[in-house]
A and B are shown apart, each in its own frame.
Chain A
């Protein structure tokens, strides 16, 4: 039975990943900077899967010390860590650089890039010691070099994160530790919906048109991602949900072309 640590797993994709790993029989360590939400999810998971298979540790990934504590908690609960998912991430408000609140810049970069670097270092040092393990970093908008007004800072952290993973795959070649990425595509999380809500009407209609075709729910995306992660034995692997083939299929799917996934959110 594998042990999996997921950062940022009190909600959204991180929580979806954690639940799927639990369903597949893995031990899971939940973590989030939002301690109350995390404990709520921890209690729910314990009720279904039993206390022996779930642990929780509050963790702000911009703090190296808290990430080390997370590793310690996982190791003392389950003996070792087989899979470490650097999932925690935050987005800036979608404003062009000249309108962006300056204080959002360091917040986004320290979570999405510095936090991923710290998480990668903590996990790989522990995994080299234990002689095995896999690390996954989460791709997002920007990882594929797409640009969009208002997403410059977020996109830069996600592009840098993909490079980091590729470079780390080169560093880890020949060791028993592997690293790769998962790319969940466009997922209907609170964040995405809030973001659409805040858009100007014209921009909102454009975004809705694209998301109605391409977006999926957490429940649709995470089972596949988790299956692929549990199957993977390759260093440097990218596990991509919304690949070219799926995008093309969605664009020609009658059901998706007429879909409205936003009305349920009052949009």
Chain B
């Protein structure tokens, strides 16, 4: 049985990945900063997929001791960790750096980059010891060098993540441990919806057009990502839900041009 650890997995794309892994018979360690969310998620998933398949642990990824404790808990419960997914991340609403409250900067960098680096270190050490394993890092806006004013800080961390994955693929190439990157595209999350609600009507109409064409729900994206992960891709793999060809094709496809993902959310 394949066992996986996912940071930040009580909601959004992390929870989606957990459910899809469980559906395919894997064991999963759930984690997030909130004990309540972890307990609730473990209970719900345990009922559906079996209590022996799910464990949970609170983990703030900016604390390396907590990240190590998450590994220890998962390896203790399942015997080993085959897949470690660095998913925990903080995103910011679109806001220019000149107006960004500076206290929001360090949490984004510390979670998206430092926390992910801790995750890679803990997982790489554990996997080298057990003789196998794969690490996946979640990418996001910026990873492919796209620029959007107002998303500079988040984008910089995610561009750093893509580089870091490539750099570790180089370091790990002579070892039994593999690492890869995973791009979920634009996923409809609470933050995306909140941002849309807060925009001026003109900006909102423009953003809605793009989101309806390019974005997807967690339920659409997570199965694809998990299927690709379970194919045991080679070291340095880049798993991308939206490629530029796919994005271009959607702009010419009536299904996507007329799609409405947002009215069910009252937008």
Residue ranges of A at the interface with B (Cβ–Cβ < 8 Å): 64, 96-98, 100, 102, 105-106, 109-110, 113-114, 117-118, 120-121, 124-125, 128, 142, 145, 147-153, 155-157, 159-164, 166-168, 170-171, 173
Which among B109, B155, B161 has the greatest number of chain A C-beta atoms within 10 A? B109
Given contacts A128-B98, A155-B167, A170-B147, contact A102 B64 (CB under 8 A): yes
Query: Are B167 and A160 in contact, with the CB atoms below 8 A?
Result: no
B133 at the interface (CB under 8 A from A): no
Query: Are A117 and B153 in contact, with the CB atoms below 8 A?
Result: yes
Query: Are A114 and B149 in contact, with the CB atoms below 8 A?
Result: no
B39 at the interface (CB under 8 A from A): no
Contacts of A120 in B (CB 8 A): 97
Query: Are B167 and A167 in contact, with the CB atoms below 8 A?
Result: no
Please give me the residue from chain A that is nearest to B68 by CB atom.
Answer: A102
Contacts of A109 in B (CB 8 A): 109-110, 113-114, 117
Query: Are A113 and B160 in contact, with the CB atoms below 8 A?
Result: yes
A98 to B106, CA, bound (A): 25
Given contacts A113-B113, A149-B170, A163-B155, contact A171 B124 (CB under 8 A): no
B157 at the interface (CB under 8 A from A): yes
Known: A98-B124, A109-B114, A170-B147. 6 other contacts (CB 8 A): A97-B168, A151-B167, A152-B164, A164-B156, A167-B151, A171-B97
Contact count A vs B, C-beta below 8 Å: 134
Query: Are A167 and B117 in contact, with the CB atoms below 8 A?
Result: no
List, sorted by A's number, 29 A–B pairs whose CB atoms are closer than 8 Å.
A98-B121, A100-B121, A102-B64, A102-B118, A105-B121, A106-B110, A113-B157, A114-B109, A114-B110, A118-B102, A120-B97, A121-B98, A142-B167, A145-B166, A152-B171, A155-B164, A156-B160, A156-B161, A157-B160, A159-B160, A160-B157, A160-B159, A160-B160, A161-B156, A162-B159, A163-B156, A166-B145, A167-B148, A171-B97
